[in-house]
Amino acid sequence: MREITVALVLVLSFAASTRAQANIWLLRSDGTPSRALTTYEGSDEEPEFSPDGQRLVFDSNRAGSNDLYILELASGELTQLTDDPAKEDHGTWSPDGQWIAFQYDAGGNTDVWLIRANGGDKRRLTTDEGRDGWPDWSPDGESIVFSSTRTGNREVFVMRPDGSEQRQLTYSRADNTDPVWSPDGTLIAFNSQRDGNSEIYMMRSDGSHQTRLTQTPDMFEERPAWSPDGAYLLFSQSGSGWRGLAKLELSSGRVEPLTNTDSFFMRPNVSPSGEWVIAERR
């Protein structure tokens, strides 16, 4: 069975929304758009492939408040995972596909929570007064990396999946966010504004050897996503009148556009096979 068997027609249309429209698209790994997976008139955002490549988790305001949803790629079946007046977004799968960590915003303060992928057993992991969010699971399932404003600006932290052993990894006077583990668990990519512009950085999983990867002062770069083999990163890039996806080859440091200049794709995620990319399109 192919990793993704997308129904020829996946039309998920719901009532209009006051937020800017964003839909989820499937692209080939070379950036060629394949098809829209959602066509809601509101906002479907932040998609992520499940570990087996058969499902997506994403957030949407289609029910009024912002909630998490799961989309079965083969059938197009959509399941609402959370139903809460609070804003719930940035869902990320545990490596075994059993849990989803996400960002929970009850109004002014955000925390990292867990929920089972089939619903229920909702658990709060962070209780700090700062804004905690942008979680990502380590490949071995033993840690969750996230960002927090508890020390002032946004910094990257790591914790156990039960919320214990929270530890700070970055220390700078500018925001550091969007942390994501490499497939082998030894590295974490993130974006930082420490040099005056939002660029893509990488560090070891213990926080050491923080290295700037992009050098594009005329562009705003964020939301890195690893390829399954760890050979490259995709990320959102905007500036000079356009917004799209870019690809960074780690062996050479070469950065090149993945999508064309008028596509307005952002927030990419790569399938476990490396064959597909999902992203928001605005």
Q: Please give the DSSP secondary-structure letter assigned to residue 43.
A: B
Yes or no: say if 207 and 221 are a contact pair by the CB < 8 Å rule. no
Furthest-apart CA pair in the chain: how many Å? 49
Q: Please name which of 74, 156, 146 lies closest in space to residue 113, comparing C-alpha atoms.
A: 146
How far are the Cα atoms of 14, 75, 202, 214 from residue 210, in angstroms, in the given order? 44, 42, 6, 13
Residue 150, SS3? coil
Token digits of residue 104:
């929970």
Please, what are the domains in the chain?
A: 93-281 (2.120.10.30)
Q: What is the pLDDT of residue 18?
A: 42
Please give the model's pTM, rounded to 2 decimal places. Answer: 0.91
- Chain CA centroid to CA 231, Å: 18
Q: Measured on CA atoms in the order 255, 259, 265, 267, is the torsion positive or negative?
A: negative
Q: Which residue has the tokens 């109004």?
A: 107
Q: Are the C-beta atoms of 205 and 183 separated by less than 8 Å?
A: no
Nearest to 274 by CA among 30, 74, 51, 29: 29
* pLDDT (0 to 100) of residue 5: 42
pLDDT tens over the chain, length 282 residues: 344 444 433 333 333 334 468 899 999 999 999 999 999 888 999 999 999 999 999 999 998 889 999 999 999 999 999 998 889 999 999 999 999 999 999 877 899 999 999 998 999 999 988 899 999 999 999 999 999 999 999 999 999 999 999 999 999 989 999 999 999 999 999 999 999 999 999 999 999 999 999 998 889 999 999 999 999 999 999 987 778 999 999 999 999 999 986 668 999 999 999 999 999 998
Q: Tokens for 264?
A: 């307005």
